Amino acid sequence: MKMGIKIFDTTLRDGEQSPGVSLSVKEKLEIAKQLAKLKVDVIEAGFPIASPGDFEAVRSIAQEIEGPVIAGLARATKKDIDRAWEALKVATKPRIHTFIATSEVHMKYKLKASPKEVLDRAVKAVKWAKSYTNDVEFSAEDAFRSDKDFLCEIFEAVIDAGATTINIPDTVGYATPVEFGGLIGYIKKNVPNIDKAVISVHCHNDLGLAVANSLAAIENGAQQIECAVNGIGERAGNTALEEVALTLNTRYDYFDIDTDLNLKEIAKTSRLVSHLTGMDIQPNKAVVGKNAFAHESGIHQDGVIKERTTYEIMDATTIGLKENKIVLGKHSGRHAFKEKLKELGYQLAQEELDSAFKRFKEVADKKKEISSFDLEAIMEDEISQVPELYQIKLLQVTSSADIATATMQMVVDGKVVNESACSEGGPVDAIYDTMNRITGLDCKLVNYKIDSVTEGKDALGEVIVKLEHNGELFIGRGISTDVIEASAKAYNNAINKILASGN
């Protein structure tokens, strides 16, 4: 029988634990929709007990996303599991994913519990989760640094208690491929009831070995790989979904293993996750980096022109990398706009369409030719919007090498406010000082990033800012052909997110 590997995507849970990342419910839902198009087997939508926002995100994803199993994380406690189930119960295919640490260092210092207590808690948690749903995953946190025989004992016990998937994480990214593969083989051989559960692995990338370790696990019997788009996640991140997928696909001759993934959605998923999380993809990143299919040396270019496979082991079209074609213009109407969005995979309700069309017209007035990448940027900008309690009405900036002045008119909760500020730090600084005066919010700009969506003089500029407010991070985005305006919009978006959060 042909081997198949399940792809468990944790972009929205472990990925969202990346430093500086915080996604709104709407943004998480959009990523989940894209993950469903990519046809991952499982979407880990969040950690419901962690915050009301996490709970709401898991609940909406469970309610709206059809196709993949929807998983929610829970520590091995009744309270966590109850909360996870409350969020997941509306899903067609819910999974409770419960975990407890099994390494000596975690049990002794973090849990202050003996191995026996940990085993009892794990079994109780699985039984409790099982009272809600048949699909229960159990993770032994820090498994790689745990005693092998204790791991086997706890896995045997949780499978007896009803766990349908057992997950073996290398939580701190300490393993090397041969060792990690060996551990999977050992567990497979020494857990008597292992055939009653799916063997899963979850690797972190602290030493840059997460993908290699996951592949070694596959060769030793793992049947599910936990991974995140663009490899995002705690610290150095998780196993990169696209790298595992393309390795299995490109080296099918070696692995002979299938996934159900729709590889053509990889490039789009990667761009969406990068844009909404504000986490850049390094240009030389395997598979999805800007340079992954670029050939710089003359010898390579010559070779590829003569025969692509001289220097390319993958075809860019496999991951859906298409040319950025001009798709619409200044005079395009609502119908053409809707059709193009449909082609790009966006299905909008009437209200959403109206708002996106308005934004499209604003851009098209200035830009004339709108490409598919521009449309994606417009849609991502739409997704990031929250109700605008603060609205920018007028923005005027004068700037010299020494000083910049910004004058703004904003509507604040229905009232018009005019304000201005000068700064020696340039026009963007002057704008942000003005907005701080208007809002009175005590927030700190921790990151400012500007990029162009396409090339050329009239390219759309995209600004992403990260603001810290009361210890929490808020991401704001703004797009415009005028980068000063995009900067103001990004800041305003973040401010409105702060207000929406009630923080």
Residues that bind ligand KIV (CB under 6 A): 14, 99, 139, 141, 167, 169, 171, 202, 204
> In the bound complex, what is the minimum distance in angstroms from residue 139's beta carbon to Zn ion?
9
Note the residue count of the chain: 503
Instruction: Give whichever of 14 and 243 is closer to Zn ion, judged by the CB atom.
Output: 14
Give the residue with the Cβ less far from ligand KIV, 101 or 453. Answer: 101
Rounded-to-integer distance, Cα 377 and Cα 292, Å:
22
Rounded to 5 degrees, what are φ and ψ at 5?
-115, 135
Region for 406 from its dihedrals, namely left if φ exceeds 0, alpha if ψ lies in -120 to 50, beta otherwise: beta
Local structure of 9: helix, strand or coil: strand
**Which of residues 213 and 434 has its CB atom nearest to ligand KIV in the complex?**
213
Name the residue nearer to Zn ion (CB basis): 139 or 487: 139
Contact 330, 365 (CB under 8 A): yes
Cβ-based neighbours of 66, under 8 Å, separated by 6 or more: 36, 92
Q: Which residues in the 135-164 window bind Zn ion by CB under 5 A?
A: none
Q: What is the DSSP string of 204-266?
A: B-TTS-HHHHHHHHHHTT--EEEEBGGG--STT-B-BHHHHHHHHHHTHHHH-EE----GGGH
Measure the CA–CA gap between 20 and 494, rounded to whole angstroms. 13
- Which among Zn ion, ligand KIV, none contacts residue 144 (Cβ within 5 to 8 A by kind)? none
CB nearer ligand KIV, residue 33 or residue 204: 204
Inter-helix orientation angle 148-161/177-190, to 10°? 50
To ligand KIV, the closest distance from the beta carbon of 25 in angstroms equals: 21
Q: In which element (H, E) is residue 74 found?
A: strand 69-75
Cβ proximity to Zn ion: between 72 and 476 the closer is 72
Which does residue 214 touch among Zn ion, ligand KIV, none (CB within 5 to 8 A, set by kind)? Answer: none
Residue from 5, 7, 13, 14 touching Zn ion (CB under 5 A): that is 14
Binding site partner of 265, from Zn ion, ligand KIV, none, Cβ cut-off 5-8 A by kind: none
Q: What values do phi and psi take at 75, rounded to 5?
A: -65, 170
Contact 462, 451 (CB under 8 A): yes
- CB 73 → ligand KIV: shortest distance, Å? 6
Min separation Cβ 167 and ligand KIV, Å: 6
Residue 141 interacting partner from Zn ion, ligand KIV, none (CB closer than 5 to 8 Å by kind)? ligand KIV
For residue 10, the minimal CB distance to Zn ion (Å) is 7
> Least CB distance from residue 171 to Zn ion, whole Å?
6
Partner from ligand KIV, Zn ion, none contacting 99, C-beta within 5 to 8 A by type: ligand KIV
Q: Which does 98 bind (CB under 5 to 8 A by kind): ligand KIV, Zn ion, none?
A: none
Q: At its nearest, how many Å lie between ligand KIV and the CB of residue 9?
A: 13
Binding site for Zn ion (CB under 5 A): 14
